[in-house]
C-alpha cells in the first residue's frame, strides 16, 4: 500500500527533544516500512526516516524562528495534496488545516486527532466529518459531535525504554512541559510534603509560570530543573525514578511520558483526568488521584507496586508495533486494499 504520512513541521521528525505529534508520526512511519508498506513521510528536511522523505523546509519553525510558520505550513500541506494521486491513503497528523484539502482529491484520508486545542476548531472537523476518517488517541478525547473510525492508542519503541528492575529510586520525577496544564507546581508541592528530591525535565512553555511557581523552589539536592532532556538521557531518568508525578489540571488526550515511565518499570501517580484511567490501572502500575493531598498519601504505597507489572502493561497495550498494526487495519478498511 502506498501511504503518505503528513507530519507536523514545528519540530524535526522524530523530535530531538519535544514534539509528541512528530514522534508518533515517526513511529508509525518506521513501523509501516517494517510491515512492507510503501511510505512517504512529509516532514522537515532534517528528519530521519527509512521511508521516502518529502520536504519544503530544512528545519521546523519552532527550531528556526526566522521561518514564517504559516507560509511553510501552507507549502508543506499543499505539497502532500498535490501528489495525492500517488498514494492509496493519506494519514494526517497535522490537525485540522489539511481537512480543508480533503474534498479536492480522491485519495482517502485518515486524520489522527491528537487533541482539541480549542472548541473553536471543532467546526472544521464537523464540516469534514463525512469525508475524512477520524481516529481518536483515547476514548476520553472523543467529541460526541464527530464519528470515528476507531481509537488507536499511542505506542512507543520498547527498545528505547529498557526495563529497570533495580533503580536508584531516590527521587520523584516530573517529565513534561512546564505549564499550568501539566501540574509542575503541584509536583513541587507533593515532593516538598514528602521530603523527597524532585527532578523536573521539560521545555518551558510558560515563562511567567516557571518564574513564579518553579524557580523560587529550586534548591540543590531537593528540587532541580534539568531543562529539556533528549533521548540519550530520557530512559535513565525515567527508569531510576521512584515514581513519575503527573498531576495534570486538564483532560489530557493521552500522555506519552506516562507510558514511557511505565515501560521502564516506574509507577505513575497521576490526577484522574482525561485519558489517565485508560492508561493506568489504579493500584497496579500507579495511582489515580484527585488532589495533591491524595497524591501525597499515595507516595509510600508506590514501594509496594510491582515494577514488572508496569512494563507488562506497556508490552501488551502501548507498543509502536501494535499502534501501527491497528492503523494498517484502518487503512485497509478505508482503502479496500489488503
Grid coordinates given for 51: 521511508
- Regarding whether 137 and 180 lie in a shared domain, the answer is no
Whether the pTM exceeds 0.75: the reply is yes
> Domain span at residue 54?
2-155+319-335
Alpha-carbon torsion 266, 267, 270, 275, what sign?
A: positive
Q: Which of 154, 167, 140 is nearest to 267 (CA)?
A: 167
CA distances from 17 to 11, 133, 315 (A): 9, 30, 24
- Regarding whether 181 and 104 lie in a shared domain, the answer is no
Question: CATH number for the domain including 19?
Answer: 3.40.50.2000
- Regarding whether 292 and 276 lie in a shared domain, the answer is yes
pLDDT higher than 90, residue 188: yes
- Regarding whether 188 and 141 lie in a shared domain, the answer is no
**Predicted local confidence at residue 224, as pLDDT:** 97
CA 68 to chain CA mean position, Å: 25
**Predicted local confidence at residue 77, as pLDDT:** 98
pLDDT higher than 80, residue 331: yes
Q: Which class for 311: exposed (0-12), middle (13-18), buried (19 or more C-beta within 10 A)?
A: buried
Question: How far is Cα 275 from Cα 25, in angstroms, rounded to an integer?
Answer: 20
- Regarding whether 141 and 237 lie in a shared domain, the answer is no
The pLDDT tens digits of the residues spanning 63-121 come to 999 999 999 999 999 999 999 999 999 999 999 999 999 999 999 999 999 999 889 99
The pLDDT tens digits of the residues spanning 1-36 come to 999 999 999 999 999 888 899 999 999 999 999 999
Grid coordinates given for 197: 528530591
Residue 206 CB contacts under 8 Å (≥ 6 apart), including other chains: 178, 179, 180
Number of separate domains in the chain: 2
Amino acid at each position: 500500500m502506498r501511504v503518505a504520512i503528513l507530519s507536523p513541521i514545528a519540530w524535526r521528525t522524530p523530535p530531538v527533544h519535544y514534539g509528541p505529534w512528530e514522534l508518533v508520526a515517526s513511529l508509525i512511519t518506521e513501523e509501516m516500512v517494517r510491515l512492507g508498506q510503501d511510505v512517504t513521510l512529509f516532514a522537515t528536511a532534517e528528519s530521519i526516516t527509512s521511508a521516502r522523505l518529502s520536504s519544503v523546509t530544512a528545519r521546523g519553525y519552532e527550531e528556526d524562528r526566522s521561518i514564517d510558520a504559516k507560509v511553510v505550513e501552507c507549502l508543506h500541506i499543499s505539497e502532500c495534496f498535490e501528489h495525492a494521486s500517488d498514494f492509496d491513503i493519506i494519514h494526517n497528523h497535522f490537525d485540522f488545516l489539511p481537512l480543508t484539502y480533503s474534498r479536492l482529491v480522491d485519495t482517502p484520508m485518515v486524520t489522527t486527532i491528537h487533541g482539541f486545542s480549542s472548541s473553536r476548531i471543532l467546526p472544521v472537523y464537523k464540516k469534514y466529518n463525512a469525508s475524512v476518517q477520524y481516529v481518536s488517541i483515547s476514548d476520553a478525547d472523543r467529541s460526541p459531535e464527530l464519528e470515528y473510525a476507531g481509537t488507536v492508542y499511542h505506542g512507543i519503541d520498547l527498545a528505547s525504554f529498557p526495563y529497570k528492575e533495580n533503580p536508584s529510586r531516590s527521587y520523584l520525577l516530573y517529565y513534561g512541559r512546564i505549564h499550568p496544564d501539566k501540574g509542575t507546581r503541584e509536583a513541587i508541592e507533593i515532593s516538598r510534603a514528602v521530603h523527597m528530591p524532585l527532578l523536573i525535565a521539560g521545555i518551558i512553555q510558560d515563562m511567567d509560570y516557571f518564574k513564579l511557581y518553579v524557580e523560587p523552589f529550586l534548591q540543590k539536592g531537593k528540587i532541580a530543573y534539568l531543562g529539556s532532556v533528549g533521548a540519550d538521557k530520557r530512559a535513565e531518568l525515567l527508569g531510576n525514578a521512584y515514581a513519575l508525578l503527573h498531576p495534570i489540571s486538564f483532560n489530557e488526550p493521552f500522555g506519552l511520558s506516562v507510558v514511557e515511565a511505565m515501560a521502564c518499570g516506574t509507577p505513575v501517580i497521576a490526577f484522574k483526568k482525561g485519558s489517565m484511567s485508560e492508561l493506568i490501572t489504579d493500584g497496579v502500575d500507579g495511582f489515580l488521584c484527585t488532589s495533591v493531598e491524595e497524591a501525597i498519601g499515595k507516595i509510600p504505597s508506590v514501594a509496594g507496586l510491582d515494577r514488572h507489572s508496569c512494563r507488562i502493561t506497556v508490552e501488551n497495550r502501548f507498543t509502536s508495533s501494535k499502534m501501527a498494526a491497528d492503523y494498517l487495519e484502518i487503512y485497509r478498511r478505508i482503502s479496500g486494499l489488503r
